[in-house]
Structure 1
Amino acid sequence: MRIIDLSSPVDAAGFEPDPVVHEVLGPKEAAVHMSEEMRDHFGIEFDPSELPEGEFLSLDRLQLTTHTGTHVDAPSHYGTRASYREGPPRHIDELPLDWFFRPAVVLDVSERGTGAVGADVIERELERVGHTLAPMDIVLLRTGADAWAGTPKYFTDFTGLDASAVHLLLDRGVRVIGTDAFSLDAPFGDIIARYRATGDRSVLWPAHMIGRDREYCQIERLAGLDRLPVAHGFRLACFPVRVAGAGAGWARAVALLDE
């Protein structure tokens, strides 16, 4: 089996609107930290100088959002209303794991530019790659935006989906839609410009807003979809980290291809 990593890293060196803070305690610092923790929480005294080279296990502290790097958006991310069920929308730790290990197909919209594409584009791309969607297939959009990851352009220049495209996929039984862009919706600037020009509220983040009435998940900030040798005929594993009560969870997304 061939395994292809489709994840983008959590990297404090890259540009993020919500900057990542990554603090590293090296082995010597971590030894002192461990000694203090043992004393303060468990009443155990231990001199870190007794350790070989006075070193223990390094420790990383991170400050970041659950939408940094490759991640899965849960239904609770889209709002407090869930018209499709009684009670609130589900958090990331409440979703069935079998949603996130499924056959997948890549649709190439990398030549479409900044904005949103509709159901007609999705239909044509499915026909081009010769794939008929089955219920629970995972659909991945290759926009090419991952080439700009770590720069401001990554957040402003990419292709998203409009409402018709999302409804088409959900109507065919898809429950997870992914993209190598910052968002499954068009960039903020494009959305706001179209809204101010038309006054049409339906252009305001439709891919996310649909999640208030139809339960599904998005995988955002994938990477390397262009490295896949096929558009379909592989499985995707993208299990989200089990963050209790969260609207999203980081994921290590990988394609699994039989050889």
Structure 2
Amino acid sequence: MHKILIIENDRALNNGIALALKAESYLFLQAFELEEAKQMLKSEKIELVILDLNLPDGDGPELLKRIKEAYGIPVVILAARDRETDIMTGLEAGADDYITKPFSLMALRARVNNLIRRVRSSSLQVYQSRDFYFSFQKMEFTKGDRRVELSKTEQKLLQLLVENRGLTLSRGELIERIWTDGTRYADENTLSVAVKRLRDKLEDNPGTPRYIKTVYGIGYTWADGRERLSAGGGRG
């Protein structure tokens, strides 16, 4: 579960963002004042912040600088469309992305998903659950006590799914990110074959997959709520 902090004094907008972006893998915390936000940052393990720079009770850009210096987590800033200086101030203070009001909630969701994916892909080295142990750095993969041998394509596919667990990756995105060297033509059938082979190696019943789920009409997602994740390479 990824904790996202929304810092926005407009209660209707704050509540609307939390409701519209609600997902199984996200937990939204809401702050309506500067001091409340500071306390949440101290007490909770926040992974991303959505920040309105124009807070009535404090200095939004200064809070942004503090978040980046003290916590190093991604920040999306909310800014008025007619205040370009706010956008420049926010980016100079370290914001990772911005969106202008009024904005599309779909556009905000896309920005949040992209930043969460970036955090996951930059930090995840080890995935461990009751059933699996995957070390992508050492290229060691086990199911229970059994070693599983994976091809390079299967390793890429598995890592993308695990890094983005809880999110659906489209078939087009998977094809684009797995077959990157251009030496082999890949299409949806190529991806389907890779998914089938990976399921055959990891699933107890590949015909009724428990972990590599098909999201019909879109793509695939990794579903395993009992994982432990690490940025290190050792097995715990």
Q: Normalization by structure 1: what TM-score?
A: 0.24
Greater fraction of residues in helix:
2
The two structures have a TM-score, normalised by structure 2, of 0.26
Larger radius of gyration: 1
